[in-house]
Chain A
Amino acid sequence: MTATKLRIKSTFEELATGNRAALITFITAGDPNMETSMQIMDALPDAGADLIELGMPFTDPMADGPIIQLSSQRALRSGHNTHRTLEMVKKFRRKNQHTPIILMGYFNPIYTYGISDFCHDASTAGVDGLIVVDLPPEEDEQLRKPAKTSDIDFIRLTTPTSDTKRLPRLVTNASGFIYHVSVAGITGAQTAKQNSLKKSLSQIRKHTDLPIAVGFGIKTPKDVMNISKMADAAVVGSAIVQKIADGSDSSHMVEDVIGFVRSLSNAVQTGRLDQ
């Protein structure tokens, strides 16, 4: 099981050696259906995704904007559920042993699945990390500890409201990497202002040695390039999910999505060249 634990760590170490940031791509599992979603997921590493965030659909995603809300609805309408999400991870791992997979979602589907069963099954399927949006440190012990036992990183979030008083609590017991939510808001929101983001990142850096990924409001190759100069990883979610929504009737959809991811990847490849 230590093999899983190493994927996130070694990915970031490798990239640091090559002096480049990671590209983390988010898709919602089962969007628009399991077969298409699986095709996209399988193609992400070759297109340049260094880590994959796989969203677990939920009916009431209160931290998500309309784009990801709709992707959850499409997935659920196609009959998707948590078991199928883990099934997708299992299938992915048959072909790919190195790309880290982080499940991202809300606590209720995990709680209903049964916390220890979920951690066990997720770990066996090949999941490396968990981001649970509605589980702040005050409540996360119930999942963080079983996840650790199953060798899954529990990834903590920092936000623009995380002040110096709050930060130590957030980074204690964090593992894998820190996910910095760059704007106060929901996914697909405005892009953060460069200066305030830089300030937040240097603040967080003082409290932890873990890699820092930046997400929320990162939509274009240019955004990714900017982030790649400041942080260890850039997360793109809504912009990719929107491509899936736009092309859901078209036979070229998977190619379009993958083409977009490739353009994001070029941005992280070249992001630090001028530094």
Chain B
Amino acid sequence: MDALNSYKNFPNSDGHFGIYGGRFVAETLMPVILEVEKSYGEAKSDPVFRNQLDYYLNHYVGRPSPLYFAERLTEDLGGAKIYFKRDELNHTGAHKINNTIGQILLARRMGKKRIIAETGAGQHGVATATVCARFDLPCVIYMGETDMTRQAPNVFRMKLLGAEIVPVKSGSGTLKDAMNEALRDWVTNVEDTYYIIGTVAGPHPFPAMVRDFQSVIGREVREQIIEAEGRLPDSLVACIGGGSNAMGLFYEFLDDKSVQINAVEAAGKGLNTTSHAASLSAGTPGILHGNRTYLLQTDDGQIKEAHSISAGLDYPGIGPEHAWLRDMGRVNYVSATDNEALEAFQWCSKLEGIIPALEPAHALAYVRDYAPDLPSDHILVMNMCGRGDKDIFSVAEHLGKIL
């Protein structure tokens, strides 16, 4: 595929993926955003930075993560051959650290003295607090009050790691509000502070940079599946909240036309209700948190509160590259409900001995639905992007209600 016809040459120099993306931020932040873009551009092509990043990915994060043949799930469903990309085995238990390690190396390179971040499920907060501890930088994490309750173990982990957690009360007290508050901090402390955005959203260059740092997932999968099966997978599946684990898996394969790509949004209590987080299935284009993308919003352009059992998917927007891939028809966007995710959570735990996070449990729910109808020589790779330790208390509560 030539360069002009590649899905991998986006965003353009202004940070646009088609009409999506961009830099919709307060003027106060523009100089620092341009500085991040310039510094990242330089770092990307600097072998010293690349080596440093590879070193920490291998020895601190524990990469490469295995590609695992989920034999019992495959047998149970009787269709496609199911592989898990085991990013839940990374240090800190999710894919999030692939990105935080990259960004903290960049922040150090830029001479920044203080790190801030937003978190939903707490995985990005933990991954940020972890690298801040490792590199001795003060760390402030913004987290919605609602999320602090349902992700209590992660709150404690972040405190142990030395981070300051700021509860965010405004709005629905979830990820969107935490991101507003982190942006307010950044605009106030722009001189010395670096904002480690946790997903493929926010103003340019964040969507592209976070994708680049996460794309190690897909690069490893390509090598590993060729070693295991001698060919590329037929399909990919990943869950999406902001969409970083999905972009991490998908990006490598965007130009491989034979690879069918599926992303699973959180349908909450159902797409026919008002309680879901499916911005691509049920949203419209708009501008929030620095980029143009699909949003859950009213016809007056007010942002609606999202809902998902999974704090990490509970966000009314989506990374701009996903918005563009949806419009281009390259990726198939589907959804799974809270209950489907809960069932898949238990199913995988019992059959594979792997307790998934509630986020990839959404991807599992789709696999459960989709794989049985596929032929046995169909190779499916799902990103197991996080482990479920953090979710056991909130799952117990939900199961108590169901049983």
Contacts and interface: CB of A to CB of B under 8 A. Distances in A.
Interface in A93-149: 106-113, 133-136, 138-139
Contacts of A107: 24, 287
A75 B176 CA distance: 20
Contacts of A58: 301-302
Given A108-B303, A112-B286, A158 B297 contact: no
Nearest to B14: A138
Interface residues of B, number: 37
A161 B190 contact: yes
Contacts of B290: 134
B28 A184 contact: yes
Contact of B287 (A66, A134, A158, A184): A134
B301 to A, nearest CB: 3
A136 B23 CA distance: 8
B31 A162 contact: yes
8 contacts: A62-B184, A63-B28, A108-B295, A109-B300, A136-B23, A136-B24, A161-B27, A162-B27
Given A162-B31, A184-B187, A134 B301 contact: no
A185 B27 CA distance: 11
Interface of B: 14, 22-32, 170-171, 176, 180, 183-184, 187-191, 284, 286-290, 292, 295, 297, 299-303
A65 B187 CA distance: 11
Interface residues of A, number: 42
A111 B301 contact: yes
A108 B187 contact: no
Contacts, number: 116
A170 B27 contact: yes
Contacts of B183: 62-63
Contact of A139 (B22, B191, B288): B22
Contacts of A157: 26-27
A159 interface: yes
Given A111-B286, A112-B300, A63 B30 contact: no
Contacts of B171: 59-60
A136 B27 contact: yes
Contact of A161 (B31, B295, B301): B31
A46 to B, nearest CB: 31
A109 B302 contact: yes
Interface in A153-179: 156-163, 166, 170
B4 to A, nearest CB: 25
Given A58-B302, A134-B287, A181 B170 contact: no
